Chains A and B, each alone.
Chain A
Amino acid sequence: QKEVEQDPGPLSVPEGAIVSLNCTYSNSAFQYFMWYRQYSRKGPELLMYTYSSGNKEDGRFTAQVDKSSKYISLFIRDSQPSDSATYLCAMRTGGFKTIFGAGTRLFVKA
């Protein structure tokens, strides 16, 4: 079983839609939860970071962590074509090794 499960998609939505991206994980020792955005032929770029359970909001993006369910989510409001990218969830325990999900490809149609 993978430590982090993420549906690879692709996910296609119309411009302006609310996007929901999710990951589940199996290691209860994970404490740090991240979402990265990766455009084609580029490296991952940190989008959101959350420590332990709870919500975090940054502009159109909201990250949620539910440690009791081992489930994390990223919501994108008012999605734009420029949001089209691969979104990777990532996690860490207290160490320095980041565990990534497979990434979900998102297409936002104008």
Chain B
Amino acid sequence: EAGVTQFPSHSVIEKGQTVTLRCDPISGHDNLYWYRRVMGKEIKFLLHFVKESKQDESGMPNNRFLAERTGGTYSTLKVQPAELEDSGVYFCASSQESRSNEKLFFGSGTQLSVL
């Protein structure tokens, strides 16, 4: 069974440009999460999808970030326009069941560098 897949693994862009990160969750997993780790900080929650619906986007930093999950399958996270402080590792995670003790499966992350 394939795990959570994220693409690209690395992205280097200039300030002001647009970047789109993609996440393919494990097949059949209704829950999809985005997390982010900026340099020297903890991994922090960005948002949570259940199928195609956003359940909680309280962690999204600002309106330059837009997440979508079309058809309840893969998800994209777009940053437009990117700023220096957006640099970090963006992780996607998925889980099968919507309960507090669900097991999250993480992807390897996308390392985003904004220059």
How far is B41's CA from A42's CA once the two chains are assembled, in angstroms? 17
Say whether A96 contacts B101, CB under 8 Å.
no
Say whether A42 contacts B45, CB under 8 Å.
no
Task: Specify which of B43, B44, B100 lies most central, judged by the most chain A CB atoms within 10 Å of its CB.
Answer: B43
The interface residues of chain A lying within 8 Å CB-to-CB of B31 are: 96
Would you give the 0/1 interface string for B9-26, flagging 1 where the beta carbon is closer than 8 Å to chain A? 000000000000000000
Closest to A31 in B: B100
How far is B108's CA from A44's CA once the two chains are assembled, in angstroms? 8
In this complex, the interface size class of chain A, counting residues with CB under 8 Å from chain B, is: 20 to 34
Q: List 28 A-B contacts (CB under 8 A).
A: A2-B42, A31-B100, A32-B100, A32-B101, A41-B108, A43-B107, A43-B109, A44-B91, A46-B104, A92-B100, A94-B100, A95-B56, A95-B100, A96-B31, A96-B33, A96-B48, A96-B55, A96-B56, A96-B102, A98-B35, A98-B45, A98-B104, A99-B42, A99-B45, A100-B35, A102-B41, A102-B42, A103-B42
Binding site for B on A (CB under 8 A): 2, 4, 31-32, 41-46, 49, 51, 88, 92-103
